[in-house]
């Protein structure tokens, strides 16, 4: 068996936090919680990964041959490695009597069950919420679906489906050209809300005076995306005007845009106050703009924003990217290079803050993975085990059924 990359809680590189490089598994907040996961793709696995990173023992049930997510091509190639760390892999054919019996035995030893299969599949197998919670009343059962109960609940959903249904593609692309967000935003956030539900249900079950009982939790893509769109829904209710897509929005600030600088590089620059605008003019050597009485206030500048941005673009096209970034940093102005995901593998802050760490892969290699974006007591929940090979823990877990 492969040896693990052992960092239960990864320290950041900041020496002032005075953190150790190791933390015993028992010190993790979900130590002692056991989770069985019937999931694939992104949404369910994200929920399981969060719980695993926080210390839960997560047993991923895979079909014979392994989760098909392991072998997706193209944009899906990174799904499995991104969302399945710190888990154990058990191969069961739950469509056979023996596999189903073993699955039920594992479920009986777990606090939480996660699933994200199409509506009705778990019920058909006898693994639905109602049947299992009658048999195991302390079980917390988490379903990750396309829709919560209602008129849409029987529809199949994908991240891109609900992005269209909930206004996200409309808000992201230019007028007449709806555009999906460039990552699986609803799947990932849906997994997060599933994990939040688990934490609340564990608290409700186990606290003094609690119910002592499990419950069913449902997290859904469509409702998740509606929450993302809620600020625009509220904007409409307050103004009675349809919010324009982001590329066509009326900005609240005069300078809040992406510019092309020397050598075709791109840079976002923001100046969201009168003081910041004056500072920006100083940095780019445009005192004429700073002293123009027609540009004295943000409201005046917003009124002539297209013309102002054109002048700034004409000036900024002659500035070197790195030199300008250093000047903006020194001046305390908000800015950002337009970065591709591949460039983040070498991002100085992500690495030195402890947010990007090595993980041993199922083939014995190593890859860099992004940790949960949180600190707990000054430490990052980290990678404790290598990515499991298909069925790597089947014998171990099944043997444990006879010892418990």
Q: What confidence tier does 394 reach under pLDDT thresholds 50, 70, 90?
A: very high
Nearest Cα to 136, choosing from 96, 170, 108, 159? 108
Same domain membership, residue 212 and residue 74: yes
CATH code at 264?
3.30.1540.10
Q: How many Cβ atoms from other residues are within 10 Å of residue 367's Cβ? A: 15
* 6 pLDDT above the threshold of 90: no
Q: What is the predicted pLDDT for the residue at 403?
A: 66
CA distance 235 to 74: 37
Query: Are residues 123 and 43 part of one domain?
Result: yes
Predicted confidence band at 149 (pLDDT cuts at 50, 70, 90)? very high
Residues 308 and 388 in one domain: no
pLDDT at 2 over 60: no
Q: Assess whether 312 and 368 both reside in one domain.
A: no
pLDDT tens string 157-204: 999 999 999 999 999 999 999 999 999 999 999 999 999 999 999 999
- Residue 77 in domain: yes
Those residues whose C-beta lies under 8 Å from the C-beta of residue 19, and which sit 6 or more positions away, are 11, 12, 378, 379
At 10 the pLDDT is: 45
Last residue of a domain, one of 322, 341, 360: 341
The tally of domains found in the chain comes to: 2
Cβ–Cβ under 8 Å, residues 8 and 85: no
In 29-133 the beta strands, taken as DSSP E runs, fall at 34-38, 57-62, 87-91, 112-115
Listed residues 289, 319, 341: the one ending a domain: 341
- Whether residue 336 is predicted with pLDDT greater than 50 in this model: the reply is yes
**Mean per-residue pLDDT, 229-253:** 92
Supply the CATH number for residue 80's domain.
3.40.50.10540
d(CA 139, CA 151): 28
Instruction: Please indicate, yes or no, if residue 237 is contained in any of the structural domains.
Output: no
Is residue 95 located within the same domain as residue 190? yes
Q: Residue 24 — very low, low, confident or very high, per pLDDT cuts 50/70/90?
A: low
Asked if residue 217 lies in contact with residue 143, where contact means CB atoms within 8 angstroms, the answer is: yes
Whether residues 94 and 173 share a domain: the answer is yes
pLDDT, position 392 = 97
Residue 2 lies in a domain: no
pTM of the model: 0.91
| Structural domain span for residue 224 | 9-229+345-403
Report if residue 4 sits inside a domain. Answer: no
Same domain, 300 and 157: no
Question: What rounded mean pLDDT belongs to the chain?
Answer: 92
Pairing of strands 87-91, 57-62: parallel
89 pLDDT band (50/70/90 cuts)? very high
Examine the fold and report which residue of 341, 365, 393 is the final residue of a domain before the chain moves on: 341
Span 131-149, mean pLDDT? 97
Q: How far apart are CA 301 and CA 271, in angstroms?
A: 11
Residues 261 and 379 grouped into a single domain: no
Is residue 236 in a domain? no
| CA 119 distance to own-chain centroid | 24
265 and 384 belong to one structural domain: no
> Residue 38: what are its φ and ψ, rounded to 5°?
-110, 80
Is there a single domain that holds both residue 211 and residue 349? Answer: yes
Q: List the structure tokens of 91.
A: 């191969």
Residue with the bigger pLDDT between 305 and 7: it is 305
321 in the same domain as 361:
no
Is the confidence at residue 3, as pLDDT, over 60? no
Query: In this structure, are 359 and 304 located in the same domain?
Result: no
Percent of the chain with pLDDT over 90: 89
- CA-atom Rg of the chain in angstroms: 25
pLDDT of 353 higher than 50: yes
Query: Bridge partners of 57?
Result: 34
Could you tell me if residue 242 is inside a domain?
no
Instruction: Summarize pLDDT for 259-269 with one digit per residue, the tens.
Output: 999 999 999 99
Give the pLDDT of residue 1. Answer: 34
Q: Average pLDDT in the 143-147 region?
A: 97
Lowest mean pLDDT among 6-10, 51-55, 82-86, 283-287: 6-10
Segment 352-370 mean pLDDT: 96
Residue 65 lies in a domain: yes
Is pLDDT of 288 > 90? Answer: yes
Name the band, by pLDDT with cuts 50, 70 and 90, for residue 114: very high
Model confidence band, residue 402 (pLDDT cutoffs 50, 70, 90): confident
Asked whether residue 145 is assigned to any structural domain, the reply reads yes
């Amino acid at each position: 068996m492969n040896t693990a990359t052992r960092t239960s809680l990864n320290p950041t590189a900041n020496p002032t936090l005075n953190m150790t490089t190791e933390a015993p598994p028992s010190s993790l907040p979900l130590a002692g919680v056991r989770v069985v996961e019937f999931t694939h793709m992104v949404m369910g696995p994200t929920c399981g990964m969060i719980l695993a990173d926080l210390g839960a023992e997560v047993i991923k049930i895979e079909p014979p041959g392994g989760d098909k997510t392991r072998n997706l091509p193209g944009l899906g190639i990174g799904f499995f490695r991104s969302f399945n760390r710190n888990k154990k892999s058990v191969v069961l054919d739950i469509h056979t009597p023996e596999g189903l019996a073993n699955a039920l035995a594992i479920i009986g030893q777990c606090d939480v069950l996660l699933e994200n299969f199409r509506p009705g599949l778990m019920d058909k197998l006898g693994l639905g919420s109602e049947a299992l919670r009658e048999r195991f009343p302390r079980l917390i059962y988490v379903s990750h679906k396309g829709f919560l109960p209602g008129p849409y609940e029987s529809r199949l959903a994908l991240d891109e489906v609900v992005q269209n249904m909930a206004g996200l593609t409309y808000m992201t692309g230019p007028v007449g050209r709806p555009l999906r967000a460039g990552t699986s935003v609803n799947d990932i956030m849906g997994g997060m809300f599933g994990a939040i539900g688990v934490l609340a249900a564990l608290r409700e079950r186990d606290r003094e005076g609690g119910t002592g009982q499990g419950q069913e939790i449902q997290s859904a893509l469509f409702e998740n995306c509606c929450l993302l769109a809620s600020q625009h829904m509220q904007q409409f209710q307050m103004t009675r005007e349809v919010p324009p897509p982001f590329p066509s929005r009326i900005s609240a600030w005069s300078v809040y845009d992406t510019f092309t600088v020397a050598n075709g590089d791109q840079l976002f620059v923001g100046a969201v106050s009168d003081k910041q605008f004056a500072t920006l003019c100083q940095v780019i050597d445009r005192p004429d703009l700073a002293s123009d009485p027609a540009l004295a206030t943000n409201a005046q500048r917003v009124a002539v924003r297209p013309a102002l941005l054109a002048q700034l673009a004409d000036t900024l096209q002659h500035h070197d990217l790195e030199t300008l970034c250093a000047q903006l940093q020194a001046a305390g102005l908000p800015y950002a290079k337009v970065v591709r995901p591949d460039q983040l593998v070498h991002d100085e802050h992500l690495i030195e803050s402890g947010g990007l760490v090595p993980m041993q892969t199922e083939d014995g290699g190593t890859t860099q993975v992004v940790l949960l974006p949180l600190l707990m007591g000054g430490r990052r929940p980290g990678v404790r085990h290598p990515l499991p090979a298909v069925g790597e823990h089947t014998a171990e877990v099944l043997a444990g059924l006879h010892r418990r």
